[in-house]
Structure 1
Amino acid sequence: MLIPVTGITVPSWLASLLLHWPRSFVVTYYTVAVTERLGPNLRVLSLLLLPVPLLAWPLLMAVSCLIFSLGVGFLWPLAATVAVGGSLDGEKLLEAAIMQPLELTRHAASEVWRFSVVSYFSYLDELRRPYFGEPLDVSPLRLLFAAVAALCCSLVSTLAVLILGMLRLPFIMARALAEWLSQLTACPTKLACLWLPFWLLGIPAIPVLVLGGFLLLLASCLAYLGPTCGVVAYVAT
């Protein structure tokens, strides 16, 4: 199932990216430059920072496509085979392991295309319309203070999580592997042949998942806790 799912997601997501990302880049910059909803300070700041999300867009699209393809094309059919395989119901297995992943893949591909072609540009059109309210703006001094607070918070939280992770990560991996192997002994004998490949795959996968979760937590300290601290500092000053 990995190949059929990848055959749908990769071409459709790649086509939507290649065909519409250049237009998105230009139209987004133009919208921020002309919208009446932003004040002068926030407009300049947005124009300076826009390259970061716009250039990261293709990378995020590629990572999302990879995760989706692996999850729907491999893990879903594997789990469905394990769950339904013991009943020896071929029609139910076909529906759960093949038809449902393909339908979800088709729906996801159409939604990605719709967002890239319609939804995003409709939102930008709305931002360019005349606006008679108070424009949103920021104070440069408060923003500088918030940026310093965000940086300090990011560094402190990342360092704390890194130290804690180095101390606890080996024990977490060992506990996860022990729990995983204990489930194998509790598996009914008639399902052991179905579950065994899944468990063997999980032995090397669990350390990778634990380490990946730890790295994701580190990234969240930089990408979430720091900016959140900065926002709180900006509002409080």
Structure 2
Amino acid sequence: MKVPVGFFPKIGSFLRLLPFFFLLLILGMLKALIIGPLVVGIIGVGSSAVIIGLWPAHFIWTYYCMVNTKRFGMALKILILLLLPVPLILWPIVGIAGSILGGIGYGYFAPLIATFEAVGENVADKFYHCFVDGFWSTLEGSFTVLRDLVDFCFHSYFSFMDELSEKMHAGEKPMDIRLSRLPGCLLVILLALPADVLSITAVALWKSPYMLCRGWQRLLQDLLGREGPFLETVCVPFAGLAIILWPIAVIGAVMSAFIASFFLAFYAGAIVQQEDSICLGLAYIVAVVSLFDEYANDLLYLKEGSCLPRPRYRKIMRSSSDRSQRNAYNDEQNGEKNGIEASYNSKLVSERSKTLKGAIQHYMPIQVLDWLFKSCDGNGRVLLREGLIDVKDIEECIVKGNCKKLGVTLPAWCIFKCLLASAKSNSPGLVISDEVELRRSNWQRDKVWQWFVGPLLIMKEQIKALDVDENEEACLRLLIMRCKNETSEDWDVVGYPSNDHVRRAQLQAIIRRLQGIVASMSMMPTFRRRFQNLVKALYLEAVRTGALTSYVIGSDGRGKSTDDDAKIDEVMQRTRALASDAVGSSNSSGRQ
């Protein structure tokens, strides 16, 4: 589609496509009215049944783990036990309300968006897809949402509580509070709640008109002919839909700020406890409003900083490290203008997504998660052929749903291999594929994402300093896949080539930390669903290569007999039952 040049050609293009937009909007709304109530029933009723059914188990197991945990001191444990009924009672109320609202939002907006996506440039037979798209995909997506909620309530939550009640490592101290500081904490929290909630909400309301106008300005530029992602896909439908829905996004941002203000206010009590000073807690009440204002300015691309006062609320502020990170970011940005990074960025800009689903897939965390599962698939097949993945672990993950071992070792080796490649390439970031490289320039503002990438960058530098050779790399692969790496004696059995105990301890600490990161990632509902689909694909690979048959015959420690034929037939019947599910699941995980 050619870009109209000039004001009147843009207006003419806009007026010609307006009827087209309204017809798609009406069609999408009709489809939403048909499929929406069914999706609301699946997500709302199904999620409510899961939440209510598991609530007694959550209540009992939470108290049991809190009583038995050694990670909290006695004073903090008593305080938590006294306050636990509040979130435990609110959870089913908030969960049910959220599932119903989420079902309404997904059930009515997904068919509408699918209708507009059906007119994309790469869609064949647009007229057919305008009427068909959005029915089955929305219904399938609702079951996926329900599956993820079940995984969170039944697996992720209990895994987290089990980890909380595990034994502490040597040298680890329990977290505790001092009772003498508790009255000051409560006093500051009581002052922070009205002050911060009202102030942060007022700042969000003050910024909301600018957010609304700035968003509409950007969307109207796309609508009237700006050369961007909207125009690349016959774009007026998307631009018009985004303009209509943009006030909802602004309202959601203000509500999110209101909810977040309560947690920010409660953190004032933590400041008093950590710094042992009521004055610093009061200073935090004032400073957090300025911090929120600065964060909002960054999101809206306004002037950096904030005009609000920001007193010091910690005895030792980390301003120097922030400045060094900002300087490193600026240096990297300047370096990107000359060299390979400039061509890399231009390639990503030229491959801008053509649909809303494609735009989500281009979000950096989604790209990294997709890379991780693709890497697990490729490395898993290699490790399976080399015998480093036990078929017994694959069957246990598929049949019993227990993926704790394989779900940590395989992703840990894939990330460790990425760290090795990044260290050898002298890259300032993490090279996860030929097209994507994690650097400060594309993740620095995302603080949550920084908590994941930051430790990986530190580990990469440690590996680079250790200069791991090929023999050590082969041995480390075996150690990650087979050993627990809890003690130094685990490495003596494998025969690690280096006798330097300091070097071995450093590598073992890196592996343990990496396994801990992966164990935390494995508690994500989406991670569990996609990894189980991956394991099904590995199961089919084991059947194709004969590894599964060898495992069945060798499980008794004897040669093949007539009884083994019955075992093999049983396994093949199970394989045929899983084959279609594995192929379909792997394809759907790739789309999601």
Does TM-score exceed 0.5, indicating one fold?
yes
Summarize the alignment of residues 115-134 of structure 1 with structure 2, pairs less than 5 Å apart: 115-131=152-168, 133-134=172-173
Paired residue for 1:83, among 108, 117, 123? 117
Q: Which residue of 1 aligns with 2:54?
A: 20
Indicate the structure whose relative CO is greater, using CA pairs within 8 Å and at least 6 residues apart: 1
Aligned residues of 1:3 and 1:73 also touching (Cα < 8 A): yes
Summarize the alignment of residues 1-237 of structure 1 with structure 2, pairs less than 5 Å apart: 1-85=35-119, 88-89=125-126, 92-93=129-130, 96-131=133-168, 133-164=172-203, 198=241, 202=244, 209-223=249-263, 225-237=264-276
- Deviation digits for residues 77-120 of structure 1 (CA, Å, limit 9, x no counterpart): 21121232476525655785233333322222112112222332
Write the distance in 1 (CA, Å) between the matches of 2:188 and 2:224. 51
Aligned residues of 1:6 and 1:69 also touching (Cα < 8 A): yes
Write the distance in 1 (CA, Å) between the matches of 2:214 and 2:174. 54
Write the distance in 2 (CA, Å) between the matches of 1:95 and 1:29. 49
Deviation at 1:229, TM superposition (A): 3.3
Write the distance in 2 (CA, Å) between the matches of 1:121 and 1:171. 43
Aligned residues of 2:116 and 2:237 also touching (Cα < 8 A): yes
Write the distance in 1 (CA, Å) between the matches of 2:94 and 2:112. 26
Write the distance in 2 (CA, Å) between the matches of 1:141 and 1:159. 29
Where 1:97 maps in the other structure, the secondary structure is coil
Where do 5+ consecutive residues of structure 1 fail to align?
none
RMSD: 3.7
Q: How many residues align?
A: 232
Deviation at 1:147, TM superposition (A): 3.7
Provide closer, same or farther for how the CA distance between residues 38 and 95 of structure 1 changes in structure 2, counting only shifts above 3 A: farther
Where do 5+ consecutive residues of structure 2 fail to align?
1-34, 277-592
Where 1:42 maps in the other structure, the secondary structure is helix
Write the distance in 2 (CA, Å) between the matches of 1:95 and 1:182. 31
TM-score, scaled to structure 2: 0.34
Q: Which amino acid is 1:71 matched to?
A: G
Write the distance in 2 (CA, Å) between the matches of 1:104 and 1:41. 45
Write the distance in 2 (CA, Å) between the matches of 1:167 and 1:122. 42
Write the distance in 2 (CA, Å) between the matches of 1:46 and 1:141. 17
